[in-house]
Structure 1
Amino acid sequence: MKKGFMYILKCSDGTYYTGSTQDLELRLQQHQNGVGANYTARRLPIKLLYYEEFQRIDDAFYKEKQVQGWSRNKKEALIKNNYSDLVKFAVCQNETHSDNNDFDSAQSPE
């Protein structure tokens, strides 16, 4: 199996694009020429902010899908290699999250 790369681009409008590829240089040229993806083609120019190399392309694709689901803050922590913020932003941030996993207050059905 071929090696792969997961990468994060910054688009001209400030948004991030996360992708994966077997040939990072070629893929960056494609994005910059407007043929890499519809999303980046409408937001040129782009800038490579981060990439990781993997021994297998399927591992790079898996990481791409994982990072695509992350918040902007968590992506920025990854880009800056800031492990403490990466951990901080990994914590669930929605209102249903409880810092206390104590289920004693849960009501049981009668």
Structure 2
Amino acid sequence: MSWFLYVLECRGGSLYTGISRNVAQRFAAHQAGKGARYTRMHPPERVVLSMVFANKPAALRAEHALKSMSTMTKRAFVQKHGVLQCASPPDAGMTESADSD
């Protein structure tokens, strides 16, 4: 089963990066306060990037690489690759409701 790297834009403009098998479900958990501690303090507003990977190790490597980037570099990466440009079709982990405002 595929894994996804996702980036959330949080209240105040900060970015949160994570991995999941289902981005929409994980986004909903973050919004409900059941995600990471960071997103409980900085509620996510939208998914700004979703990329599909063949397996968890590949997604973890990508997550580590993205988290290692400077904020400016990470924002440029997100802007270049967009939310659905790199993602699989909506039924593979990203639903339309997850990327709506």
Does the pair score TM above 0.5? yes
Q: Corresponding residue for 2:8?
A: 9
Larger RCO of the pair (alpha carbons < 8 Å, separation 6+): 2
1:33-80 CA deviation, whole Å, 9 max, x = no partner? 111111001111431111101111221111011100101111111111
Q: Which residues in structure 2 correspond to 1:40-79 (within 5 Å)? A: 40-79=39-78
Using the alignment, how far apart are the partners of 2:51 and 2:25 within structure 1? 16
- The superposition leaves residues 75-100 of structure 1 with CA deviations (integer Å, 9 ceiling, x where unpaired) of 11111117xxxxxxxxxxxxxxxxxx
Q: Where does the alignment leave 5 or more consecutive residues of structure 1 unmatched?
A: 83-110
TM-score normalized with structure 2 length: 0.74
State yes or no: 1:26 paired with 2:18: no
* Structure 2 match to 1:35: 34
Q: What secondary structure sits across from 2:80 in the alignment?
A: coil
In 2, the alpha carbon distance for the partners of 1:49 and 1:74 equals 15
Q: Which has the higher helix share?
A: 2
Pairs aligned (count):
81
> Which protein has the bigger strand share?
2
Unpaired runs of 5+ residues, structure 2, are 82-101
Q: Secondary structure at the match of 1:80?
A: helix
Question: Which amino acid in the other structure matches residue 20 of structure 2?
Answer: T
Q: Which runs of 4+ in 1 moved over 6 A?
A: none
Residues 14 and 29 from structure 1, CA distance in 2 versus in 1: closer, same or farther, beyond 3 angstroms? same
The alignment partner of 2:49 has SS state of strand
Work out which of the two has the higher radius of gyration on C-alpha atoms and give 1 or 2: 1
